[in-house]
Every structure is written in structure tokens, then in C-alpha cells.
Amino acid sequence: MHPIEVLGTYWQQFLTGAGITVALTGLSAILAAVIAPLLALVRVAGNRWAQWPLRLYISFMRGTPLLAQLFLVYYGAGQFRPTLEAWGLWSFFRDPFNCALLVFAVNSTAYQTEILRGGIQGVPPGEVEAARAVGMTRVQTLRRVVFPHAYRIAWPALGNEIILLMKASAIASVVTVFDIMGRTRQVFAKTFDFSAYLWAALLYLALTAIFIALWRLAEARLSRHIDARERGVGTEAVTRGAGA
């Protein structure tokens, strides 16, 4: 079969697969993004007893294969079936998409926590002192000073993490989630046509490229006041020159 023919026949499969990949990556990244800042605060300012379970969790998530984590939850849930049924959670764990979503979110939370910790520690202490000096409360300081700057520092690394997560999400196909990789394996099993894999590779590359473009736009928006200040300095210089 000609590669174009493969795409012509199976484009709907690839497209629905892409939808699942985006949904799986996006939802788990968002879930992780909600929890990670709280855990990052504990990593920065928590006491010893809050620190060590958190360190253990992050080390485990980073030190074991994602595939093993996925199997641990998806197949491992079967060992606790009676309990899970009693709690009404069995229908959740029976669905491979839910399990993949849970595992990816918990895994990405660990990585995002470490990235945000680096961001928070990168905020100059003078900014925090200044916020205290003008009488901001702790929460106000975090909301108005620490987090906006920490996110600007952490932004490129967070983008990298989400790209890695999207690539890693392909392993969900092993537990029968029909994402891009799952659909591709299906198409290959039907046609034995190698070009199915090439289209999948192109699709992943395209998604990555689109994501990078969107992430850069968001970065520009996050630091828009910095650009404005530079522009401001420029106009100021011009008016001064004109006044003199």
C-alpha cells in the first residue's frame, strides 16, 4: 500500500487517537498542575516530618518505570477487587483510560513539584522581604510575588515535562487505551504496512510542535510586563530627549 493510501483509509483512526492522546496528556498535566504548587511549598518550607514522605514519593516516581507504575495500578487493582467493589471504586479501576490518567497525573505531580520547587527557590529573597516590608500577608506574598515569579522561572522546564508526558503517554496503548500509539498498532495489525508508524511519528512531532508554539505564546504573556517596562524605558528616553 502507498503511504498516502494508508492515511486516506485510516485517517479517522489516527485523528480519534490524537484526541485521546491530547485528552490523556492534558487532563493529567492539569491535575498535576493543581496539586504540584502545594507540594512544592511543602518541599520549600515544610518541616522535616512533612518532607520525608514527600521525598520518598518523588524518589519512587522518578526511580521506577512509568510502565511498571501503570501495571501496578491497572493490573494491581485486581488484587483488591472485593474491597474496591465495596467502596464503589471498581468501575473506575476497571477502565484503562482512568488508570492511565491517575498514574500519569500522580507521576507528573512528582516531576512538576520538583520543577516548581526550583522555581520558588529561584525567586530573589529581596522580593519577599520587600513584600513583607509593605505589609503583605504570607498568602498575599505567595500569590502576588512568589508564585508569579516562580512560574516565570519554571515555565520552560514545565513545558519540557509536559512534552515528555505526552511522549510517555504512548505506553497507555499497552493497557488497551486507543491513543495514537494504540490506533497505530491496530492499523499495523490489519495492514502490516510499515508507514502506519511513520504517520504516527509525524503526528507526535506535529503535536509537539503545536504545543511548543502555544507554550511560547503563554510565556510571552506571562512576562508581558517585562516587555512593557522595556518599552516604557524606551519611550521615557524619547520624551526626555524631546523635552531637553
Partner 1 sequence: MTDLFAFGDTGWGDEILHGLLVTIELALVTLPVGLALGFLVAFAALSQNRALRTLGNGYTTVMRGIPEILTLFVVYNGLGMGLNAALSRLAPDAAPIDLSPFLAGVIALALVFAAFSAEVIRGAFNALDPGQVEAGRAIGMTPGKILRRIKLPQVWRFALPGLGNLWINMLKDTALVSVIALNDLMRMTKVAVGVTKQPFTFYLFACLLYWAMCVLSEQVLAQMERRANRGVRRV
Nearer CB in complex with partner 1: 117/149 = 117
Nearer CB in complex with partner 1: 205/237 = 205
197 lies in the site for partner 1, by CB under 8 A: yes
Among 65, 122, 156, 232, binds partner 1 (CB under 8 A): 65
Distance CA 53, CA 78 (A): 26
69 lies in the site for partner 1, by CB under 8 A: yes
Q: Which stretch binds partner 1 (CB under 8 A): 30-38, 78-86, 121-129, 218-226?
A: 78-86
Distance CA 179, CA 15 (A): 9
C-beta atoms surrounding 135 within 10 Å: 7
Site size toward partner 1 (CB under 8 A) is 36
Q: 40: exposed, middle or buried (C-beta count within 10 Å: 0-12, 13-18, 19+)? A: buried
User: Residue 223 is inside which H or E element, if any?
Assistant: none
Distance CA 212, CA 156 (A): 10
Cα distances (Å, whole numbers) of residue 139 to 115, 132, 145, 155, 236: 21, 11, 10, 22, 35
Runs of H (alpha helix) within 75-146: 81-86, 90-94, 96-121, 125-133, 138-141
Closest approach, Cβ 91 to partner 1, in A, equals: 18
- Up-side HSE of residue 164: CA atoms within 13 Å toward CB? 13
110 lies in the site for partner 1, by CB under 8 A: no
216 lies in the site for partner 1, by CB under 8 A: no
171 lies in the site for partner 1, by CB under 8 A: yes
Residue 188: all three cell numbers together: 499495523
184 lies in the site for partner 1, by CB under 8 A: yes
Q: Which stretch binds partner 1 (CB under 8 A): 8-16, 120-128, 132-140, 202-210?
A: 202-210
Distance CA 18, CA 40 (A): 31
Per the CB < 8 A criterion, the answer to whether 24 and 213 are in contact is: no
108 lies in the site for partner 1, by CB under 8 A: no
Residue 97: all three cell numbers together: 483510560
Closest approach, Cβ 180 to partner 1, in A, equals: 9
Q: Which stretch binds partner 1 (CB under 8 A): 22-30, 131-139, 182-190, 231-239?
A: 182-190
51 lies in the site for partner 1, by CB under 8 A: no
Closest approach, Cβ 116 to partner 1, in A, equals: 19
Nearer CB in complex with partner 1: 35/67 = 67
Contacts to partner 1 by CB under 8 A: 59-60, 62-69, 71-72, 75-80, 167-171, 173-174, 181, 184-185, 188, 194, 197, 200-201, 204-205, 208
